[in-house]
């Protein structure tokens, strides 16, 4: 037998990694056939090098081959050409033999590198990695007279778990092809883990509902990804956490990891998934020598709301906060204790600098407000000039509409500046009042006259700017009145023409003339001809084509405007008042996990063809999202999607403005139904399950979908009798929370709105099952299941009670909401805290906002979205896409907020 070729590629085994990790940078963009031919050629070279005993080159080649296979599996054409690829590259059994060769090569190379280092005078101690690898492959000292036990791989159909004794035997049998996944926290894993070469840590913070195998791979550190990829070629994967015995509880890390591998990992279709019964705790007790740091025990977490808590949510009725307390918390106004002179002086001295900051902030707001007012005047003037052009030139309607929408947005921003200015003035007055009271008591607070003079000069400058601002606002109001007068005249002329049956002129007025362009078109005045219907005729032709052919085979017409833009920065054309739809689609497009799911061709395997919409909504939404992320188009048209949506909900297929919240709610139900193909795993009978779990299963009829895992949560409604304190609870699922806004407030916090939703309210005449009669009670809502994606809707539109007919108004309240670190723990039901621990590990971060500008009579929708690639905020205004500053995201136009607690940001940003 020939001897191994002399070592020449590296000085140590780790040097080889640098060689096989280098793939061509454009490999992912190449045709799959070309990649496969390269892989086949590489495989033949590796086999030749293996026979020639060139161990270094063979090992590097085989590892590079495994990396190429991963690229092939992720290619968009892989599913379609899987059979041909298998014939070319071989089956899983063939790759198992390659992994056996890799294992032998690794053992041999590490030993040879160590030997060479020893000969050169290096350390005689074998590296820990070599020892572990040899131990894992059964290279233990031979005991004379004893026979090594033989372990038979466990078939998942026969057994779903192994004991610590069985796993120990499997680890020490080189014939067992196995990968172990440890889903304990990274800190616990680093402190103590199994001594086994094919062991990978999948940290529990990654294991939340909606996670996919691809996303886990992306989130793992580079050194773990190679081990994670071994799941594709190993015959079995063993899962373990700290101490789970029996069937894992739903929503725990072990359950989610098992669920993800079974349902969202197409690469391990034939791999057996088994669990270690009793977890790492059981193994370390039986075999401490096979573990690093066997004395380690994770810190005990004392949870007063643990598993032993009973079903009573509120033992004391006085513990329930009431709705009327929601907006009574201290807001922007500083809390000042005027009963103590010493406290007052100390407080003032401590806040002297913040007072100066308030003055600076006041000046900044005035500068922004002035600039915004100038933009309004310029835009209004441009609109006026357009209107005077006779006749209208081609494209002027579209320009006019764009300018009108810009005026709406500028006016909403001006209203926000006014609210901020009012808040700052309130703070200033509070501090000045404190100063005056202290002066009246004879206290000399402002010791230096120079400081006082400087502040007075600063305030004079502010007064001058406020005067300029008032003058600009008066001019804006004058221009707005002129436009309203012209609109009124245009409406009167239109009415006169209709009464006399005279055809209307081609020239049209502003979009405000369309009284049904508000968010609730069904509640507005009778329908009129829309002003800017740029797509009615193309849509009619398109619909005719769709009707004559099956949607599955029709070529989608996105009518793209070509242009190289960043991925995810493509706009959507307005197909005639479809800005409400465009706003929601952009927010869903920037839902990173949903985007990733729809980009995977295997998502079609989850389509449900037996429901009302036959999977067509899911297909069309996926097609739009994929088109938005090609980076090849400046804008596209979602014609197919609008047509399909209109087939199942007629109001969304027309050219009238609709409510984006109503569209989103219905769309979520459609998408869930289109993807509802996975049977829920139920370990026991329904009657033995907790009430919340039973209600969840019954609501979804025993079938999950990727949409329900991402977007749906559950509310617990508790009603407590004020007489006998009997408690009754019911459960209801939700895809978004609709929050009330204060009636008479220009500014508030998201926390106030959440309090208003979840705080208690009195219920009259509730039939108490214990008292057997109608009693007064208190109803309280809590969250029993947090969603991975939390969608929050503000109820901005309401029926005006002071009008005889039903007239809807809009609340322009500026809601202060966090862009990150939204903590929902305080709204969790006391009895449901443990179930939601995975989702409270990380706080929610904002990634999308659907905005509504204008009023009920005339409105426009846009979206603000955080692009995951560029990590910047962008404004999506139909076909226009532009970057915005994060400070501009908070606005009174915010209508729907999209929050995520999933780790879809770069790891450096996740805390």
For the annotated catalytic residues, the residue numbers are: 579, 860
Q: Which residues, other chains included, contact 372 with Cβ-Cβ below 8 Å and sequence gap of 6+?
A: 410, 413, 414, 417
Check residue 202 and report its DSSP letter: -
Peptide bond into 391 cis (omega under 30): yes
Q: How far is C-alpha 708 from the geometric centre of its chain's CA atoms?
A: 13
> How far is Cα 806 from Cα 823, in angstroms, rounded to an integer?
38
Tokens in use for 567?
A: 């991925």
Cα angle, residue 806 at apex, residues 805 and 812 outer, rounded to 5°:
125
Q: How far is C-alpha 541 from the geometric centre of its chain's CA atoms?
A: 37
Location of structure tokens 């320009």: 399
> How far is Cα 643 from Cα 650, in angstroms, rounded to an integer?
9
Task: State whether residue 874 is helix, strand or coil.
Answer: strand
List 860's β-bridge partners, or say none. Answer: 853
Kindly give the pairing relationship between strand 845-854 and strand 814-816. unpaired
Task: State whether residue 749 is helix, strand or coil.
Answer: strand
Task: Kindly report the number of other CB atoms within 10 A of residue 67's CB atom.
Answer: 18
Q: Phi first, then psi: what are they for 483, rounded to 5°?
A: -70, -40
Q: How far is C-alpha 841 from the geometric centre of its chain's CA atoms?
A: 15
Check residue 331 and report its DSSP letter: -
Tokens in use for 723?
A: 């007489």
Tokens in use for 110?
A: 């590490």
Distances in Å between the Cα of 64 and the Cα atoms of 40, 41, 52, 218, 564 are: 12, 12, 19, 19, 33
List 322's β-bridge partners, or say none. Answer: 760
Task: Kindly report the number of other CB atoms within 10 A of residue 349's CB atom.
Answer: 10
With beta carbons less than 8 A apart as the criterion, state whether 704 and 675 touch: no
Tokens in use for 738?
A: 């609709």
With beta carbons less than 8 A apart as the criterion, state whether 517 and 857 touch: yes
With beta carbons less than 8 A apart as the criterion, state whether 874 and 883 touch: yes
End-to-end CA gap in the chain: 56
Beta strands, E only, 416-465: none
Distances in Å between the Cα of 551 and the Cα atoms of 545, 578, 616, 640, 655 are: 10, 21, 8, 9, 22
Q: Phi first, then psi: what are they for 270, rounded to 5°?
A: -105, 5
Location of structure tokens 């970057």: 883
Q: Please, what is the angle between helix 92-119 and helix 55-74, to 10°?
A: 140
Q: Phi first, then psi: what are they for 536, rounded to 5°?
A: -60, -50
Instruction: Using alpha carbons, select from 402, 423, 169 the residue that is nearest to residue 286.
Output: 169
> How far is Cα 123 from Cα 577, in angstroms, rounded to an integer?
75
Tokens in use for 613?
A: 């919409």
């Amino acid at each position: 037998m020939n001897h191994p070729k002399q070592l020449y590629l590296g000085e140590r085994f780790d040097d080889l990694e640098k060689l096989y990790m280098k793939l061509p940078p454009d490999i992912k963009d190449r045709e799959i056939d070309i990649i496969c031919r390269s892989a086949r050629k590489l495989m033949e070279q590796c086999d030749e090098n293996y026979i020639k005993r060139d161990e270094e080159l063979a090992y590097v080649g085989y590892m590079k081959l495994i990396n190429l296979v991963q690229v092939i599996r992720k290619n968009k054409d892989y599913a379609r050409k899987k059979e041909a690829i298998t014939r070319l590259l071989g089956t899983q059994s063939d790759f198992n033999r390659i992994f056996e060769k890799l294992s032998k090569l690794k053992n041999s190379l590490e030993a040879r590198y160590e030997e060479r280092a020893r000969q050169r005078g290096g350390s005689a101690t074998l590296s820990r990695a070599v020892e572990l690898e040899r131990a894992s492959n059964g290279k233990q000292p031979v005991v004379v007279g004893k026979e090594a036990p033989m372990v038979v791989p466990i078939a998942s159909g026969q057994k779903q778990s192994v004991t610590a004794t069985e796993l120990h035997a499997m680890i020490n049998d080189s014939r067992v092809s196995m990968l172990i996944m440890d889903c304990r926290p990274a800190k616990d894993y680093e402190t103590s883990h199994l001594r086994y070469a094919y062991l990978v840590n999948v940290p529990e913070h990654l294991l939340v509902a909606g996670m996919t195998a691809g996303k886990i791979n992306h989130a793992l550190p580079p050194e773990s990804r190679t081990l994670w990829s071994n799941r594709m070629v190993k015959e079995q994967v063993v899962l373990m956490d700290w101490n789970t015995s029996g069937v894992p509880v739903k929503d725990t890390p072990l359950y989610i990891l098992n669920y993800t591998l079974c349902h969202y990992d197409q690469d391990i279709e034939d791999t057996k998934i088994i669990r270690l019964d009793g977890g790492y705790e059981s193994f370390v007790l039986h075999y401490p020598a096979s573990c690093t740091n066997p004395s380690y025990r994770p810190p005990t977490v004392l949870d007063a709301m643990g598993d032993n808590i009973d079903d009573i949510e509120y033992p004391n009725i006085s513990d329930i906060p009431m709705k009327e307390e929601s907006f009574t918390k201290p807001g922007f106004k500083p809390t000042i204790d005027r009963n103590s002179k010493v406290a007052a002086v100390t407080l003032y001295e401590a806040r002297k600098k913040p007072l100066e900051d308030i003055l600076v902030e006041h000046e900044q707001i005035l500068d922004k407000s002035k600039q915004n007012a100038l933009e309004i005047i310029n835009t209004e003037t441009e609109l006026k000039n357009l209107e005077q052009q006779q006749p209208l030139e081609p494209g002027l309607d579209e320009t006019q509409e764009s300018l009108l929408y810009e005026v709406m947005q500028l006016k909403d921003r001006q209203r926000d500046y006014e609210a901020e200015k009012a808040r700052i003035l309130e703070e200033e007055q509070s501090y000045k009042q404190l100063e005056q009271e202290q002066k009246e008591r004879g206290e000399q607070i402002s010791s230096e006259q120079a400081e006082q003079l400087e502040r007075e000069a600063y305030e004079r400058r502010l007064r001058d700017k406020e005067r300029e601002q008032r003058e600009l606002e008066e001019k804006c109001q004058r221009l707005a009145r002129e436009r309203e007068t012209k609109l009124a005249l245009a409406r009167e002329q239109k009415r006169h023409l209709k009464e006399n049956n005279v055809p209307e002129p081609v020239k049209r007025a502003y979009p405000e003339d369309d009284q049904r362009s508000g968010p609730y078109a069904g509640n507005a005045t009778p329908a009129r001809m829309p002003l800017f219907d740029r797509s009615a005729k193309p849509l009619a032709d398109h619909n005719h084509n769709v009707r004559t052919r099956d949607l599955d085979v029709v070529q989608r017409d996105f009518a793209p405007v070509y242009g190289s833009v960043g991925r995810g920065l493509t706009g959507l054309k307005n197909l005639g008042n479809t800005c409400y739809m465009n706003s929601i689609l952009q927010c869903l497009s920037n839902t990173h996990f949903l985007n990733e799911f729809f980009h995977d061709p295997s998502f079609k395997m989850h389509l449900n063809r037996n429901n009302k919409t036959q999977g067509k909504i899911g297909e069309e939404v996926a097609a739009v999202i994929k088109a938005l992320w090609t980076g090849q188009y400046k804008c596209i048209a979602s014609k197919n999607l609008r047509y399909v949506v209109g087939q199942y909900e007629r109001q969304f297929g027309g050219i009238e403005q609709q409510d984006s919240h109503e569209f989103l709610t219905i769309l979520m139900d459609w998408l869930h139904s289109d993807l509802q193909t996975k049977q829920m795993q139920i370990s026991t009978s329904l009657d033995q399950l907790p009430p919340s779990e039973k209600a969840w299963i019954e609501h979804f009829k025993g079938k999950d979908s990727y949409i329900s895992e991402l977007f749906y949560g559950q509310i617990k409604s508790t009603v407590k009798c004020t007489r006998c304190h009997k408690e009754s609870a019911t459960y209801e699922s939700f895809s978004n929370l609709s929050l009330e806004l204060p009636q008479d407030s220009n500014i508030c916090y998201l926390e106030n709105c959440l309090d208003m939703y979840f705080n208690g309210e009195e219920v009259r005449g509730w039939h108490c099952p214990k008292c057997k009669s109608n009693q007064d009670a208190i109803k309280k809502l809590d969250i029993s299941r947090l969603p991975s994606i939390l969608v929050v809707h503000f109820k901005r539109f309401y029926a005006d009670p002071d009008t005889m007919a039903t007239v809807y108004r809009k609340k322009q309240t500026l809601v202060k909401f966090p862009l990150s670190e939204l903590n929902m723990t305080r709204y969790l039901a006391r009895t449901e805290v443990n179930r939601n621990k995975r989702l409270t590990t990380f706080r929610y971060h904002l990634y999308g906002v659907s905005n509504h500008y204008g009023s009920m009579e005339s409105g426009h929708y846009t979206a603000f979205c955080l692009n995951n690639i560029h990590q910047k905020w962008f404004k999506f205004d139909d076909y226009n896409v532009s970057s915005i500053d994060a400070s501009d995201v908070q606005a009174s136009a915010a209508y729907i907020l999209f929050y995520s607690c999933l780790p879809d940001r770069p790891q450096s940003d996740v805390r």
